[in-house]
A = this chain, B = another copy of it.
């Protein structure tokens, strides 16, 4: 019995509820972990209550899976666009870094959930998410390998994950520094970290 009858006039607001739920769930999952959040919690965060979620998702697991799949896909496709496009490897790396920073700063909860909760996704979709994550990381590694041809790919992979850790730290140290300061700071640190890969003492 929705007391507030739909304010939205027409077109039925396609999918807005789904994304609204996904966003609220991301914040809750980031704060308390997947198993620490109940269906009722998520529902009441968007003003509906409990089992109404099943009108939009087939279950809690499916909700998490879709969230992670969506994030992984967005990152990977943004990355692919960079690598496909024109530019020197150096410029590509800058663009990749900038994209990751922009995403981490604007969707901190999603980033947090993204690298914490994969273990709670069941096997059919787990593999798909892992694959997208791997593809995304491989794009970074490909660019890096042009800048450091002598460096073993395994090291480049490790360095990439380390820089992901650096860039994704924003959700944890959030609020203290404005984005306009944070973004260039992180960018410089990431560039410098990559430049230090070379094993020259």
Contacts and interface: CB of A to CB of B under 8 A. Distances in A.
Taking the full assembly, how many copies of this chain does it contain?
2
Interface string A174-201: 0011000110111011111111110100
A115 interface: yes
A19 interface: no
Contacts of A177: 154-155, 157-158
Given A188-B197, A192-B193, A193-B193, A165 B159 contact: no
Interface stretch (A29-37, A53-61, A76-84, A85-93): A29-37
Interface of A: 31-36, 115-117, 119-120, 154-155, 157-159, 161-170, 172-173, 176-177, 181-182, 184-186, 188-197, 199
Given A33-B36, A157-B177, 19 more contacts: A31-B119, A32-B119, A35-B35, A36-B119, A115-B172, A154-B176, A157-B173, A158-B176, A162-B173, A162-B189, A164-B169, A165-B165, A166-B166, A166-B193, A185-B197, A189-B197, A192-B193, A192-B195, A192-B196
A170 B157 CA distance: 11
Contacts of A173: 157-158, 161-162
A161 B165 CA distance: 10
Contacts of A115: 172
